[in-house]
Amino acid sequence: MAFLSIRNLRKSFDGLVAVDGVSLEVEEGHTLALLGPSGCGKTTILRCLAGLETADEGAIEIAGKPVFDHAAGINLMPEERELGIVFQSYAVWPHMSVAENVAFPLMVRGVPKQQTRERTARILELVGLTAAGHKGATALSGGQQQRVALARALIHEPRLVLFDEPMSNLDAQLRAQMRMELSVLQDRLAFTAIYVTHDQAEAFALAERVAVMNQGRIETVGEPRRVFHRPATPFVAQFLGLNVMPGRVVAAEGEFCRVALAEGVEMWGGAASPLPEGTAALFCVRKEHVAVRRLAATAPATGEPPAEQVFPAQIRTASFLGLQEEYIVAIGGVELGSIQPPHGFAAGERAEAVIRPADCVVFADASAG
């Protein structure tokens, strides 16, 4: 039995469906990341878990105890669910000191003063705020307020900790640092967590499992590596930043198929499911897998499908990213994004694009009529 289980959760606001029949399970001590663009319903799920919203249908069980069950008429108040939460805005109370903020969950539980002091000191040390305990909470920087919110969410040792885009107000450097610290904290305290974010790097770094959401539904859920390397749907591919191009299957060969893209350009790719000839398809390839090289005299490899396909190409735009360069590469009428080690190509230059069929995924295009 999973530690947290969500069954068939539905919630709409004024007729607008925010969560559309979501079921999820999380093991004890694990972190599940809910990843998706804004408005996909991930925060609504979190708020339903916390009891801050009441779902229209479904059931939620935490540690074997139902906290919400529409059919059975169960709906525990937020304060009855024994949770911790970290908000995007931190929600650190400005009229209290850091220590008062952090001790609040113990105060409302009537924990004796001496014990409260000790536990507050311990958790403040854990998040690196020992010196700031007596300070007014709003005198702190964003990163420090984030730590206060974190300490407050952990001090009462809740069975489940909820994170609502906790890092999105921090700058990139601080975000990377907090991500590391949070990982370490979780290893030490072994709490179960739901982590809502739109940042894939954050989700992959922190979670044992990642659920990608779109329009109130779960597109895919799995280990970060699997979600990343084998995008389960065209939406996931697009959300993770792959090139996604519409086309039509013109040949199928085992696990592979050849797809005709715009203006007669044809490419081989691995089919996500068997696709017969004539199927409308979406051809997906990661930018890092669109290799670009100087024009070479070597003859292209042959075979059906070939191990690599080589296309004459032209660099449309080139931007320098530091350790990498990003290009937009035109192959005939097809434009692809490409991220490569710095080759120093300039816009307008002719080049060769090399794409391995095994790196490409082809989906049936459900949206095409």
Cβ closer to another protein: 70 or 156? 156
Q: Are the CB atoms for 198 and 37 separated by under 8 Å?
A: yes
Return the closest-CA partner of residue 283 out of 325, 335, 322, 319: 335
CB of 78 to another protein, least distance (A): 4
Cβ closer to another protein: 116 or 309? 116
CB of 37 to another protein, least distance (A): 20
Q: Are the CB atoms for 108 and 96 separated by under 8 Å?
A: no
**What count of other Cβ atoms lies within 10 Å of the Cβ of residue 94?**
10
CB of 55 to another protein, least distance (A): 14
Residue with tokens 């930043």: 241
CB of 178 to another protein, least distance (A): 18
Return the closest-CA partner of residue 4 out of 56, 44, 49, 55: 49
Q: Is residue 153 within the footprint of another protein (CB under 8 A)? A: yes
Q: Is residue 216 within the footprint of another protein (CB under 8 A)? A: no
Cβ closer to another protein: 78 or 342? 78
Tell me the three state secondary structure of residue 279: coil
Candidates 32, 132, 162, 292: give the one binding another protein (CB under 8 A).
162
Q: Which of residues 221-280 bind another protein (CB under 8 A)?
A: none
- Separation CA 279–CA 291 (nearest Å): 27
Token output for 101? 């903020």
CB of 219 to another protein, least distance (A): 27
Q: Which of residues 39-98 bind another protein (CB under 8 A)?
A: 50-52, 77-79, 81-85, 87-89, 91, 93-95
Tell me the three state secondary structure of residue 91: coil
Q: Is residue 141 within the footprint of another protein (CB under 8 A)? A: no
- Separation CA 23–CA 41 (nearest Å): 13
CB of 95 to another protein, least distance (A): 5
- Separation CA 30–CA 207 (nearest Å): 7
Tell me the three state secondary structure of residue 18: strand
- Specify the stretch interacting with another protein by CB under 8 A; choose among 147-155, 234-242, 282-290, 314-322: 147-155
CB of 152 to another protein, least distance (A): 6
Q: Is residue 16 within the footprint of another protein (CB under 8 A)? A: no
**What count of other Cβ atoms lies within 10 Å of the Cβ of residue 297?**
4
Q: Which residues bind another protein (CB under 8 A)?
A: 50-52, 77-79, 81-85, 87-89, 91, 93-95, 104-105, 108-109, 138, 149, 152-153, 156, 162
